[in-house]
Chains A and B, each alone.
Chain A
Amino acid sequence: MTTATLPDTHADSGGPGFLRRHRMTLAPLLFLAPGVLFFLVYVIFPIFQSFQVSFYRWDGLGQPEFIGLQNYQELATDRAFEVSLWNNMKWLVLYLLAIPGGLFIALFLNQTVAGIRIYKSLFFFPFVISQVVVGLVFTWFYDPTFGLLNTLLESIGLPAINVLGDPTLATYGIIAAGLWPQIAYCMILYLTGLNAVDPEQIEAARLDGAKGLRMLWHVILPQLRPATFIAFVVTIIGALRSFDLISIMTNGGPFGSTRVLSFYMFEKALSEYGFRMGYGAAIAVVLFLIMLCFIAYFLWSMWRQERGR
């Protein structure tokens, strides 16, 4: 027992034989356990539970009643669902404008003049503020009685428009508000990407007489591919997650014309007129399946990169 008092620099490395022999198996297991457990309980299992709930009629309190595919059959004839689905498509397509928009501002700002760092951060500003505040700011911007937009329109002699009160315009108005922070995000991705572009290649291309758009397309953009990929990922995710802006700016109206699936699901599941958890879950499942196509593509791209290492 006297040896135990000797100073041991690796106090635990001489532990019980079993632990020591299996440490390369046990260590990752123990490091992973808390994170994986949490993630399974709060993220992975709920996905499957939502699938299950979508086959039930359930008000969130009483006993759920199994009704098979009825929720999905109802979706097929639900006009509001159709409108939401269409709006989601509009969001997806128009939100992608954030990528060229961000690239454009990044190219504009990629200079070294005095104070440019501050300008870059200030251009990035809209991304840092919460979507709730962005929504409020744009609601006031669009306001028909005093909004800055109409003040400007009238000053150049155009008729005033009530963007958020017009069912045909409202969704586009909200998407424009959403593009504001999203363009800022893409801009910062491209600014960091442009920093890493190989100057020698640019010089070589310049000697070959390339410039302007041709240079951008053939020399710069290929080198910006990692940035474009991330911009694409975050923009798609952002488009399908749009909820805050709609909830703040129009609350789905006018006449439900600005609903998207994420908002419609929330509205159905936790509506004032009684909770319809099952129906809400069915909407969520549809949204999830749309997203799954993109997730599969992202993972496939990542997998190819991993194998390339």
Chain B
Amino acid sequence: MFPRPIQQASRPAQITYQSLIPVALLMWLLPLVAVAIFSIKPDTDFTAGNYWGWPSSFQGLANYGKVFFESDMPRYLMNSVLITVPTVIGAVALSCMTGFALGVYKFRGNLWLFFMFVAGNFVPFQILMVPVRDLTLDLGLYNTKMGLVLFHVAFQTGFCTLFMRNFIRALPFELIEAARVEGVAEWRIFWFVVLPLMKPAIAALSVLIFTFIWNDYFWAVVLTQGAESQPVTAGITSFNAQYRAAYHLMSAGSIVAALPPVAMFFLMQRHFIAGLTLGAVK
């Protein structure tokens, strides 16, 4: 193990290390801690100039209550869910198939198709913006959740295919060979042999794509406007315009908007990290 395990160090060094970690963490998360404190402060603290002092009273419930019951926030959150969940399902489903095809079959152009997905996944969004916006308008899907979902599914298929294909490559190929010798149809091999083995990859991609899409801001601004279809990342700016200078509410709103991916991460940490390392670092 590198660096040398702290247990081998002297007692004072160990104690220093143990007490240094929480301090380092606090400094690392300081901007976030500040927002969390803001979100439970009462309105009067800000007008009185008490920004960094102790909250004069605990107003967490009132502040968060306002966010949930007196603003458009619940609608934005709902929109985010309705955009994110179908995208995750669509992108994972499509990439299971493309990943299977590229990972299992040998045909001419296999590597080229694979590289097309990889390269497409890396392009800057702006090169797609004008045509995609135009296409969405032509389809009559501008300012709909559907329009966003379709684009996200297509774009994320690139990344997901990269991941799935590499994952399938690492599976024991003899299983598929054996099934073929038995005369099992190809789609049954996919469904009954390969898919069950892909569960970890599917879980990893699901959490990862969930986070990516939930946090998307650019496409939300390009393809939607207004509370009826905008996700929470775009909604938070209108929310902030509504509560300008009401820092306690803006902080509470930001925390609410950020929470779902955080919860997802803590629930499915292992899968999440497996996905982030693109399966390449084990």
Which A residues have a C-beta under 8 Å from some C-beta of B? 10, 12-13, 23-25, 27-29, 31-32, 34-36, 38-39, 41-47, 49-50, 53, 60, 107-113, 116, 119, 121-126, 128-133, 136-138, 140-141, 146, 148, 151, 180, 185, 188-189, 192-194, 196-197, 199, 202, 211, 215-216, 219-220, 226-227, 229-230, 233, 237, 240-241, 243-244, 247-248, 261-262, 265-266, 269-270, 277, 280-281, 283-285, 287-288, 291, 294-295, 298-299, 302-303, 306
- Residues of B contacting A230 in the complex (Cβ-Cβ under 8 angstroms): 277-278, 280-281
Contact of B95 among A35, A211, A261 (CB under 8 A): A35
Closest 7 CB pairs of A and B: A42-B154, A130-B215, A46-B131, A35-B98, A31-B101, A27-B186, A49-B131
Q: Tell me the dominant secondary structure on chain A's binding face.
A: helix
B178 at the interface (CB under 8 A from A): no
Give the distance to chain B from A279, nearest Cβ to Cβ, in Å.
10
Asked whether A136 lies within 8 Å of B28 as measured between CB atoms, the reply is: no
Asked whether B25 lies within 8 Å of A119 as measured between CB atoms, the reply is: yes
Contact of B218 among A180, A192, A244 (CB under 8 A): A244
**CA of A287 to CA of B217, assembled, Å:** 19
| CB<8 Å pairs between A and B, sample of 7 | A12-B185, A32-B97, A41-B154, A128-B264, A137-B254, A277-B130, A287-B126
Known: A42-B135, A43-B154, A202-B1. Contact between A132 and B233, CB under 8 A? yes
- Residues of A contacting B236 in the complex (Cβ-Cβ under 8 angstroms): 132-133, 136
Which B residues have a C-beta under 8 Å from some C-beta of A? 1-7, 17-18, 21-22, 24-25, 28-32, 34-35, 38, 49, 51-52, 94-95, 97-98, 100-102, 104-105, 107, 111, 113, 115-120, 122-132, 134-135, 150-151, 153-155, 157-158, 161, 183-188, 190, 211, 214-215, 217-218, 221-222, 233, 236-237, 240, 247, 250-251, 254-255, 257-258, 261-262, 264-266, 269, 273, 276-278, 280-282
Asked whether A128 lies within 8 Å of B211 as measured between CB atoms, the reply is: yes
- Residues of B contacting A188 in the complex (Cβ-Cβ under 8 angstroms): 273, 276-277
Q: Tell me the dominant secondary structure on chain B's binding face.
A: helix
Contact of A47 among B127, B190, B254 (CB under 8 A): B127
Asked whether B262 lies within 8 Å of A111 as measured between CB atoms, the reply is: no
**CA of A199 to CA of B190, assembled, Å:** 38
Of B17, B107, B218, the most chain A CB neighbours within 10 A belong to B218
Asked whether A281 lies within 8 Å of B130 as measured between CB atoms, the reply is: yes
**CA of A241 to CA of B215, assembled, Å:** 14
Asked whether B135 lies within 8 Å of A41 as measured between CB atoms, the reply is: yes
Asked whether B218 lies within 8 Å of A39 as measured between CB atoms, the reply is: no
- Residues of A contacting B161 in the complex (Cβ-Cβ under 8 angstroms): 35
**CA of A226 to CA of B280, assembled, Å:** 7
**CA of A220 to CA of B262, assembled, Å:** 31
- Residues of B contacting A146 in the complex (Cβ-Cβ under 8 angstroms): 49, 51-52
**CA of A221 to CA of B262, assembled, Å:** 31
Known: A38-B94, A189-B281. Contact between A266 and B126, CB under 8 A? yes
Closest residue to A43 on the B side, CB-wise?
B120
Give the distance to chain A from B141, nearest Cβ to Cβ, in Å.
12
**CA of A125 to CA of B269, assembled, Å:** 11
Asked whether A39 lies within 8 Å of B158 as measured between CB atoms, the reply is: yes
Q: Told that A136-B35, A219-B2 touch, could you supply 20 new A-B pairs with CB distance under 8 A?
A: A24-B105, A42-B128, A42-B132, A50-B130, A53-B130, A111-B3, A132-B236, A138-B31, A140-B38, A189-B281, A192-B282, A196-B281, A197-B2, A220-B2, A230-B277, A262-B126, A265-B126, A266-B222, A295-B123, A299-B115
Of A111, A123, A199, A262, the most chain B CB neighbours within 10 A belong to A111
Asked whether A13 lies within 8 Å of B185 as measured between CB atoms, the reply is: yes
Known: A50-B127, A107-B3, A227-B277. Contact between A133 and B254, CB under 8 A? yes
**CA of A302 to CA of B112, assembled, Å:** 12
- Residues of A contacting B261 in the complex (Cβ-Cβ under 8 angstroms): 128-130
- Residues of B contacting A43 in the complex (Cβ-Cβ under 8 angstroms): 120, 123, 128, 154-155, 158
- Residues of B contacting A291 in the complex (Cβ-Cβ under 8 angstroms): 122-124
- Residues of A contacting B188 in the complex (Cβ-Cβ under 8 angstroms): 10, 12
Known: A192-B273, A199-B1, A277-B130. Contact between A130 and B124, CB under 8 A? no
